[in-house]
Structure 1
Amino acid sequence: MPTSWKDRVRDRPWVQLMVLAIAQFMVLLDVTIVNIALPGIEELGFSSTAALQWVVSAYALVFGGFLLLGGRLADLLGRRRIFLAGLLLFGLASLLAGLASTPAQLIALRGVQALGGALLSPAAFGMVTLLFPHGRRRALALSIWGALAGLGGTFGAILGGVLVDQWSWRWIFLVNVPIIAIVMAATVLLLAESRAASEAKRSFDIAGALLSTAGLLLVVLGVIRSDASGWLSVEVIGLLGGGALLLALFAWVEQRSAGPLVPLSLFRTRTMSGSTIALTLNGGAFLILFFLASIFFQQVRHYSALGAGLRLLPMGITGIVGAILAARLVSRFGTKPVQVGTSVLAAAGLVLLSRADADSSYTLTMMPGLALFGVGVVGTLTVGQIVAVADVSPDLAATASGVINTGRQVGGAVGVAVVTTVSSGHVTALLGDGATTTEALVGGFQWGLLVAAAFAVASAIASALTPQVHVRSAAPHTPLALTSA
């Protein structure tokens, strides 16, 4: 019996991967594109820099807080269904953010955007792991997925510079709308529905959802507020302590739940737990570098927003190389030596970058460091994802993605908060010793990069303690079984 064109496309996982990759790329791009546009966004009427920073913080807070819930909803209710819901939320919020008339509106809509991202991102990753069975095909698919992290961050800075310089900050949100429309249409036509196979696993853990989301929100908010209030302030200690208490209660509830939000058996798998720790530290190193480099290029070297973005491009390009190379190497050597080696490369790139000052040659000092870091940080991400989902049941594919991405978000938030404290303290000390503003900023940049290198080294240690996974050729692709949407 002849098959329809839709069925023929659904039997080609690489086409479906392209659809999912575009959506993931957009979410990653939106994390960095806003940073470049902040000076223009300030014209909306923000009263202070602290208030303006909530345009970034609101996204990080909601995205990190709801990833676990988004992943579990995808596994239980249908990954394509939740993916489409996330796309719709993200698109509507982007449209309204581009039309926002007050700071409060924009901050609230950034939170809605993040909620859409927290739904679509784990659902998309869950579909990718089902499209590609364990083996070399999955390694290659996840290398493409990992390359998006480096390229998305870098391209976000470049695209943000172009849109702001040529039109206005509003276009960094409005540009998402036509992309969302195309991806939603392609999803309906080309992607099959999938969900947890067992009806017993489709019960929803309301208590776990509330505790995990509230706990993560408090932890991320505490980290964000540490910059303004200090790590030892009553506010920050209260937020972090409250978040830790709620997460401890969450773990207690999950042990007793018949249908837990995040089955604790996930963490009993050493590949999942060890690689999640490594990826959390890797996320810290990545966001620290991006945060510091953006400041260094614009405030010390006095480049424009677009100029700063273009100078980060080597990191994105070599990140693609690192992802593809890592996927090839794990087939020959296994995951552990490759993950450890890429983490060490990332640390080496950061140490090299820490030697730069206001007069250093970009070509001879900074570009090699950025290129080396790109290979290492994205290579580590690629291998870490392969290891993390190696022993995960297909029924928990999106849930596992939510755990991994939550770790990376929290790691990034903690990393930036720690480096802000360290760098600011060093800048203040240098100014007190009579250094110029430029010299003090350079000193803070150098110390911050060494903190990022420490995160990368810690990621290498966590990778070394994680069991080896051998990637072999997998059986031919079996398309996802269709279910009623």
Structure 2
Amino acid sequence: MSHLHAPEDRTAASRRWWALAVIAIAQLMIVLDATIVNIALPSAQKDLGISDANRQWVITAYTLAFGGLLLLGGRIGDLFGRKRTFTIGLLGFAVASAIGGLATEGWMLFAARALQGAFGAVLAPSALSLLSTTFTDPKERSTAFGVFGAIAGCGAAIGLISGGLLTEYLDWRWCLFVNIPIALGAAIGAFYLLERDHVEKQHRTRLDLPGALLGCGGLLAIVYGTSEATGRGWGDWLVIGCLVLGVLLLAALVMVEKRTTHPLLPLHIIGDRNRGGAALAVGMAMIGMFGLFLFLTYYLQVIKGYSPVMAGVSFLPMTAAIIIASTGFAARMMTRVPSRNLVVPGLLLAAAGMAWLINLKVDSSYLTMVLPSELLLGFGMGLIFMPTMSLATLGVAPNETGAASAVINTAQQVGGSIGTALLNTIAASVTTTYLVSRNAGDPLVQAQGAVHGYSVATVVAMGILLAAAVIAFLMIDHKPVPGEAEAEQPVHAAI
């Protein structure tokens, strides 16, 4: 009778891969929106009359809401159904993008970006949770997470390219309007392709409010503190106060979660050495990756005189390397080798990419200096993101995959925020010191000082990536076992 089930099996498999397309599109939208408005910012600032002091809120409003609400967003998906929260997240993101694109005042754009971040915080954990519960066959899972990992790694670069193209050939508002058809199309696909995951009634209204306040407050304080460090410096009282407050709130969260029966963040999720190691590896990798984006964007546009579009296009080789490494190599090897045999070499390759940039000069060639660094970092990131994303939810109970997904997303977000602020502060400080004893009025000397600052900050980024490799080697000990992902398959729904 098995032949009677073959068409049904083929139909189910087809639905899974179409579901992957929907989930991947949603994830890409979330990731690229963190950077797509960067290049459009000068145009938006001029058009809306935003002051120099307030322009940072176009970026900060998104990262604050997104990073601060991730833990809550992940748990909401666990309690009220991931298909439902995924669809609501997409529709809300579309509405927020429309408000931002139609903004006539600066505050409207700030509010829209914060709203985007809030719905993104609901959407991102649901996307990873749906991926984890949809693909339980080891071979299918490796392919699906290869695609997802590639998107997580290259989405920011795609955002820079898209932002440049849309701003130069259309208008800055299209950096927001472009999300509307993407989100609506993904929402329609989710409605038809994703199976509803039923949630037990007794869990629907049990939300850990004290945990939500402490967790969201702690993350909010840390993300805000690191974002303010870029302009104020790490010694500023506000920056130090926010970071200390954030750490204290998260410490209080741990104490509260030990005693509650329905925790926002079940501590055994982060207590697992593989999931903890994966989160640390991703967070530290994002520090180096966002540092490279920051320095190369300035270097190519300010020092080398590239247009915004050309600067964005120059990141394409790194994007291609991430995709090739994630889908072409890591996806095939994930079921054959221990996870750290992918993550550790990936971090070492990324560190080698940073090491290549140490000798960056004002007159360095793109082909001999920038391109090799991009390729090394791209191949490294492709090996990192795919297995760590899989480890984040591997073996987690179906009613906790949202919380587990939120942890890895939070690591990405906080790592990116810290990387941008930390490395930018180091580069600016080194440049200032360099110019003190030299002719600071000479444009060539100014350029040399800026590049020297980039090089020193790159050394720091390389050190962080090497430290991450050591941590991943010591913490991640997962070895693939046949059928291990099947435990995640919900008993109440067949997807």
Give the TM-score, by structure 2 length: 0.92
- Cα RMSD over matched residues? 2.4
Q: CA deviation at 1:376?
A: 0.3
Give the AA of the match of 2:165.
V
Q: Which residue of 2 aligns with 1:466?
A: 475
User: What aligned pairs does 1:439-478 form with structure 2 within 5 A after superposition?
Assistant: 439-474=448-483
Match of 1:237 among 235, 240, 246: 240
**1:149 corresponds to which residue?**
152
CA gap of 1:275–1:198, structure 2 versus 1, over 3 A, is farther
1:252-283 CA deviation, whole Å, 9 max, x = no partner? 11111010011111122111112111111012
Do residues 418 (structure 1) and 427 (structure 2) align?
no
Give how far 1:101 is off: 0.5
Tell me the residue number matched to 1:35: 38
Alignment of 1:4-23 (within 5 A): 8=11, 12-23=15-26
2:111 is the alignment partner of 1:108:
yes
Q: 1:270 to 1:479 in 2, by over 3 A?
A: closer
Unaligned segments of structure 2, at least 5 residues? 440-444
Quote the residue 1:366 is aligned against: 370
- Choose which of 253, 262, 274 in structure 2 pairs with 1:259: 262
- Name the residue aligned to 1:59: 62
Q: Summarize deviations over 1:212-245 as a string: whole Å, max 9, x none.
A: 1111111111111112222222211221122222
SS in 2 for 1:203: coil
Paired letter, 2:470: I
Cα deviation, residue 333, structure 1: 2.4
* Partner SS state of residue 306, structure 2: coil
**Could you tell me which amino acid in structure 1 is paired with residue 173 of structure 2?**
R
Counterparts of 1:196 and 1:281, CA distance in 2 = 35
Match of 2:90 in 1: 87
The aligned counterpart of 2:354 is: 350
- The residue that corresponds to 2:339 in the other structure is 335
Structure 2 counterpart of 1:438, one-letter code: A
What SS is found at the alignment partner of 2:35?
helix
Asked whether the 8 Å contact 2:395–2:485 carries over to 1, the reply is: no
1:392 equivalent to 2:396? Answer yes
- The CA distance in 1 between the partners of 2:449 and 2:378, in whole Å, is 27
Question: Is the contact made by 2:153 and 2:385 (CA closer than 8 Å) also made in structure 1?
Answer: no
* Corresponding residue of 2:279: 276
Letter in 1 for 2:457: G
Residue from 404, 413, 420 that aligns with 2:408 = 404
Cα distance in structure 2, aligned partners of 1:391 and 1:105: 43
Aligned to 1:130: 133
CA 1:483/1:387 → structure 2, altered by over 3 Å: closer, same or farther? closer
Of 209, 212, 216, 2:212 maps to 209
User: For the residues of structure 1 that align with 2:13 and 2:332, how far apart are their CA atoms?
Assistant: 26
3-state SS in 2 of match to 1:34 = coil
Give 1:268-307 correspondences, 5 Å limit.
268-307=271-310
Q: Is the 8 A contact 1:44 1:102 kept in 2?
A: no
Q: Deviations over 1:416-439 (max 9, x none)?
A: 111111100111011112161110
Given candidates 175, 178, 190, the residue that maps to 2:178 is 175
CA deviation string 1:421-477 (max 9, x = no partner): 110011101111216111011111111222221221122111101232222454998
- What is the CA distance between 1:196 and its match in structure 2? 5.5
**CA distance in structure 2 between the aligned counterparts of 1:215 and 1:353, rounded to whole angstroms:** 35
* Whole-Å separation in 2 of the counterparts to 1:423 and 1:6: 56
Distance 2:144 2:76 in 1: 24
Paired with 1:452 and 1:377, the residues of 2 have a C-alpha distance of: 14
| Superimposed CA distance per residue, residues 139-198 of structure 1 (whole angstroms, 9 cap, x where no aligned partner) | 221111010123322221121111111111000001111111111111111111225669
The alpha carbon displacement at 1:93 in A equals 0.6
1:196·1:396 contact (CA, 8 Å) conserved in 2? no
CA distance 1:191–1:3, change in 2 (3 Å): farther
- Contact 1:37/1:160 (<8 A) preserved: yes
1:26 to 29, 34, 51: 29
Show the counterpart of 1:427: 431
**Which residue in 2 is equivalent to 1:74?**
77
| Cα distance between partner residues in 1 of 2:267 and 2:247 | 17
Secondary structure of 1:360's counterpart equals coil
Deviations 1:67-126 (A, max 9, x none): 111111001100011111111111001011001011111011100001111111100100
Shift of 1:58: 0.9
Q: Give the C-alpha shift of residue 47 in structure 1.
A: 4.5
Moved more, 116-125 or 321-330: 321-330
1:329 Cα shift?
Answer: 2.5
Q: Distance in 2 between matches of 1:231 and 1:69?
A: 28
Q: Do 2:15 and 2:193's aligned partners in 1 also have CA atoms closer than 8 Å? A: no
Q: Using the alignment, how far apart are the partners of 1:344 and 1:195 within structure 2?
A: 43
Counterpart residue number, 2:314: 311
Could you tell me which amino acid in structure 2 is paired with residue 462 of structure 1? Answer: I
User: Hey, what's the Cα distance between the residues in 2 that align with 1:145 and 1:399?
Assistant: 18
Deviates more, 1:49-58 or 1:471-480: 471-480
CA distance in 1, matches of 2:77, 2:181: 24
In the superposition, the TM-score normalised over structure 1's length comes to 0.94
Confirm or deny that 1:438 pairs with 2:447.
yes
What residue is the counterpart of 2:442 in the other structure?
Answer: none
Is 2:167 the partner of 1:164? Answer: yes
1:346/1:372 contact within 8 Å kept: yes
Gaps of 5+ in 1: none
The total of aligned residue pairs comes to 484
Say if 1:245 and 1:134 are closer, same or farther in 2 by CA, change over 3 A.
farther
**Gap change, CA 1:196 and 1:440, over 3 Å in 2:** farther
